[in-house]
Chains A and B, each alone.
Chain A
Amino acid sequence: MEFKVEDLDDGLTVVVLEGSLDFLTANDIDLEFTAVVASRDRVLVDLEKVSFMASLGVRTLIKAARTISRKGGKMVAANANDEVKEVLDYTGADTLIGLHDDNEAALADLRKA
């Protein structure tokens, strides 16, 4: 699982994940997410290149979203494929993490926060 962070000029951050977020890889990026959310409060997670996500991957995202939410910030996600979207919906994760069809809509949502 690749994990890239891009800080934008207006205080927003984009985290790009690439690969499978599964029982083998989810824990590997826990530390990286912890570091990101410790110092940022408006984060977009770009899921376009996430081919697979199971409940441990959802858990990683929820933990990050909760940390940001407790600071009064917001985390959103975008570009999930249909199957990943279904997992996020079924677990209710999308009630905490706003899901968007593209980065533009997701960033607009973060700017309102």
Chain B
Amino acid sequence: MTENWSLSLTNEKADAARFASWIEALSADADLSKKNAFDLRLFFDEVLGNLYGYGFADGRAHQIEVKVDCDRSYIRAEVTDDGALFDPTIIGRRARPKTADEVTVGGWGIELIRKIADDLEYERVAGWNVLRMRFRRHRDSIDA
């Protein structure tokens, strides 16, 4: 059986505040393991953080749609927005810093998403960015 959840947001930062309670409620509702809940939130945080920070520079109102569906094996997450074309999957890989001097303040969002995702795909559909991620579901008893 597949369960699904969705949330519509605008690009107003005040509207983004609804995300936190939505993802917490969803994680409880879906009985996600601690790790799955954290990773799901991490995916969305990285994508939404980028959108709210840089995705809408034209000063206009924009829409963001956030979706999750879960079955026994997988969790699928999707973010759709009507901002400028942006495909994060083509951003080059970066290596973990080996020394303190190599540590940089930014640029880790997509790498953290890649770490979580078993599958990650992007497409541009009728003026909308669509980013989809899938990762394996596991139980807390397996996590231990």
**B105 shortest CB reach to chain A, Å:** 5
User: Among A55, A62, A83, A93, which residue has its beta carbon within 8 angstroms of that of B109?
Assistant: A55
Measured CB to CB, the residues of B under 8 A from A are: 13, 16-17, 19-20, 34-35, 38-39, 41-42, 45-46, 48-49, 52-53, 96-100, 102-106, 108-109, 111-112, 115
User: Among A62, A63, A90, A93, which residue has its beta carbon within 8 angstroms of that of B115?
Assistant: A90
Cross-chain contact A20 with B20 (CB below 8 angstroms): yes
- Complex-state Cα separation, A55 to B42, whole angstroms: 9
User: Among A22, A55, A96, which residue has its beta carbon within 8 angstroms of that of B100?
Assistant: A96
Cross-chain contact B108 with A23 (CB below 8 angstroms): no
User: Known contacts A55-B46, A95-B102: does B35 contact A22 (CB below 8 Å)?
Assistant: no
Given contact pairs A52-B45, A95-B99, enumerate 4 new A-B contacts (beta carbons under 8 Å). A55-B46, A63-B105, A90-B112, A92-B96
Cross-chain contact B105 with A54 (CB below 8 angstroms): no
Which residues of B sit under 8 angstroms from A93, Cβ to Cβ? 103
**A67 shortest CB reach to chain B, Å:** 11
Cross-chain contact B97 with A23 (CB below 8 angstroms): no
Q: Binding site of B, secondary structure by majority: helix, strand, loop or mixed?
A: helix
User: Known contacts A69-B100, A96-B100: does B106 contact A59 (CB below 8 Å)?
Assistant: yes
Which residues of A sit under 8 angstroms from B13, Cβ to Cβ? 24
User: Known contacts A83-B35, A87-B42: does B20 contact A24 (CB below 8 Å)?
Assistant: yes
Cross-chain contact B112 with A95 (CB below 8 angstroms): no
Measured CB to CB, the residues of A under 8 A from B are: 20, 22-24, 52, 54-56, 58-59, 62-63, 66, 69, 82-83, 87, 90-93, 95-96
Chain B residue with Cβ nearest A25: B20
- Complex-state Cα separation, A4 to B64, whole angstroms: 34
Chain A residue with Cβ nearest B38: A83
Which residues of A sit under 8 angstroms from B115, Cβ to Cβ? 90
Which residues of A sit under 8 angstroms from B108, Cβ to Cβ? 55, 58, 90-91
Interface centre among A63, A91, A95, A96 (most CB of B within 10 A): A91
- Complex-state Cα separation, A23 to B108, whole angstroms: 13
User: Among A63, A87, A96, which residue has its beta carbon within 8 angstroms of that of B112?
Assistant: A87
